[in-house]
Amino acid sequence: MQKRSKRQRDIVSRLRSGMTLSVAGMAADLDVSDETIRRELRTLEEAGVVVREHGGARLASPALEGPLSQRMDENAEAKIRIARAAVEKIDDGAILFIDAGTTSCFIAKQLADRRSLTVITNSLQVANDLGGINDNRLFLAGGQMDYDYRAFSDHEAQAYVRLFTPHLAILSVGGISVEHGLTDFHPSEAAMSRIAYETSTRTLLGADASKFGRRALQHTASLADVDILVTDEPLSDEFAAAFAHAEVIIA
């Protein structure tokens, strides 16, 4: 998995030139087969990172910029699997809060065929993906934009999100620790997560294996606050016990 993730980053790095590069050229450059490159490009295309063209690919138009774009590249295959599994828990007509984390953005993309959703979000990317389609209603928190996250998470945005009581909050996380619970690196995003855990009827946490055993800057919630955990690898015995109360889905 780590090898694939690095290869995808290498492909994206080469495409940042802005040119359309051929499959054969990238395969020769990275010393892999043409089919390996095509497989990686399919994954990156589904993530919205690249656009495949006849015999090659180019970088997608930069709807995402800076650090968020870089994080969307990381562990893309795992996040896509998590997203596909997560949307099976979401029906037409659901009332959702979706945060600005990258895994949540992947889940939002997979919700494009659901109808009549009510979506509350602080993420510009989620708003772009789900607003204006399929009779959805969208409520986007405002305030000062954080350009690194392409999101609104200041005090004004937090106050707006606190007005809603969604059926389900779809959340990402910076770190998951048995000792320290759920943590995040960005203070304002951590505050937004705390609000979501407080106001939502149920919570769905999407987290790839790299998040387990990691501790970030600020506490957001306890492990007991998670109702549904969707991840990409089986849990260790320690984490399995810690999430015994929750529905755990391995994508």
Calculate the CA 188 to chain-centre distance.
17
Angle at 148 between CA 212 and CA 226, to 5 degrees: 30
91 shares a domain with 55: no
- As a whole number of angstroms, the distance between CA 86 and CA 197 comes to 17
237 shares a domain with 153: yes
Q: What CATH code is carried by the domain that includes residue 17?
A: 1.10.10.10
191 shares a domain with 81: yes
Count the domains in the chain: 2
Q: What is the pLDDT of residue 63?
A: 43
- φ/ψ of 241, rounded to 5, equals -65, -40
pTM value is: 0.75
111 shares a domain with 76: yes
- φ/ψ of 146, rounded to 5, equals -90, 110
158 shares a domain with 54: no
178 shares a domain with 79: yes
Q: What CATH code is carried by the domain that includes residue 223?
A: 3.40.50.1360
Domain boundary among 61, 85, 101: 61
Domain that holds residue 23: 2-61
Per-residue pLDDT of the chain (251 residues; tens, 9 = 90+): 556 777 888 888 788 766 788 999 999 989 999 999 999 998 888 877 788 888 899 887 654 434 565 666 677 888 989 999 999 999 999 999 999 999 999 999 999 999 999 999 999 999 999 999 999 999 999 999 888 788 999 999 999 999 999 999 999 999 999 999 999 988 899 999 999 999 999 999 999 998 999 988 899 999 999 999 999 999 999 999 999 999 999 99
200 shares a domain with 142: yes
Q: What is the pLDDT of residue 136?
A: 97
Give residues with Cβ within 8 angstroms of 139, minimum separation 6.
118, 119, 120, 121, 160, 164
Calculate the CA 198 to chain-centre distance.
21
211 shares a domain with 92: yes
